[in-house]
Amino acid sequence: MVKVNNIEISPPIVNSSCAWSSDFQQLEGLYDSPYTGGVTTRTATACGFKEDDEHTVVFTRKTLSTLNSYGYSPHSLTTYLAWVESILLSRPSSSKPFIISITASQPNTLQSMVASIQAMRMKVGDRNGSRTSRVTIELNTSCPNIQNSSPSGYFFASLSPLLDVLAKEYAQDSTLTIGLKLPPFVFREQFLAVLDTLKRFTLTINHATASPFSFLTCTNTLGNSLMFPDQLEDHPLSPPAEIERVFGVPTALGGLAGDSLHALSLGNVYTFSQLLRAENCCEAGLGNLKIFGVGGVTSHEALLRMRRAGAEVVGCATLLGKEGLRAFEILAIAN
């Protein structure tokens, strides 16, 4: 069991926000699995993201990797909150939390979304209540597939207006658990920029220094990745002439996940874990941040590697897409 502010994740295995946590049936199945300690929704916007045939995912032939061109969920936050509320109210004895993944580009929009989540938390009875919270927020800063919009996590200081919204909400209600989903970073200054920005939001609560942020999810998919049809599962090396498929996904470029991302994700988890243990981070209230390790967790051995790198909670998506709910049984072997 891992305690993350006011939520408990037991076992410390979750799904990461992905296409396979999109609808009610998928969320209900994930919640009822005995092998998940928490469930993450697909990333919601206030009004839903327009999805079409260009948004898809493909699996590779030689490794358990994927390339996807998905954006955010076509379902609105209001829809997800109704689904989550229904699941939680019908299972009052469960302490398993939902991680509501959201994104917004404007502070006022984010404020409205957080208010809706807080209202739902009141309905399911976990705000300032006696039992462990069952609803938390993850702000997605890292989708690489939004046209004309680079992942904001690569320009972390620019997120300050949004982080300020979350910090103020936490200052009013410290039972609210807040996390950030980050893109994959490749050099040290990027990691430091994240932590330097988070230090600006340090609060003093009950005479103790604390951060309004409780966890970092490392990492989302790696953007600007390209695959050709001959690399994909169930695709002939020499496709018939009538097949006009030029690239692996219709958009040509997409987000890379699975085995091909694993080494980079491990490096991100390790780097953040080491930096958060440093004295200056502890003094700034960041020492208690938990790391959710995501990226290429396609086996029990990969899960163990994530933990060795410093992840307290481990998440998967590609394995879920390949194996369905059995994915978590595979990860939990000897857990």
* Residues of the chain where predicted confidence (pLDDT) is lower than 70: 126-132, 235-244, 334-335
Give pLDDT tens digits for 234-260: 755 544 444 567 999 999 999 999 999
> What is the per-residue pLDDT for 138?
98
Domain boundaries, the chain: 2-235+245-332
Q: H/E/C letters for each residue in the chain?
A: CEEECCEEECCCEEECCCHHHCCHHHHHHHHHCCCCCEEECCCECCCCCCCCCCCCEEEECCCCEEEECCCCCCCCHHHHHHHHHHHHHCCCCCCCCEEEEECCCCHHHHHHHHHHHHHHHHHHCCCCCCCCCCEEEEEECCCCCCCCCCCHHHHHHHHHHHHHHHHHHHHHCCCCCEEEEECCCCCHHHHHHHHHHHHCCCEEECCEEECCCCEEEECCCEEEEECCHHHECCCCCCCCCCCCCCCCCCCCEEEEEEHHHHHHHHHHHHHHHHHHCCHHHHHCCCCCCEEEEECCCCCHHHHHHHHHHCCCEEEECHHHHHHCCHHHHHHHCCC
The CATH-assigned architecture of domain 2-235+245-332 is Alpha-Beta Barrel (3.20)
pLDDT (0 to 100) of residue 131 = 47
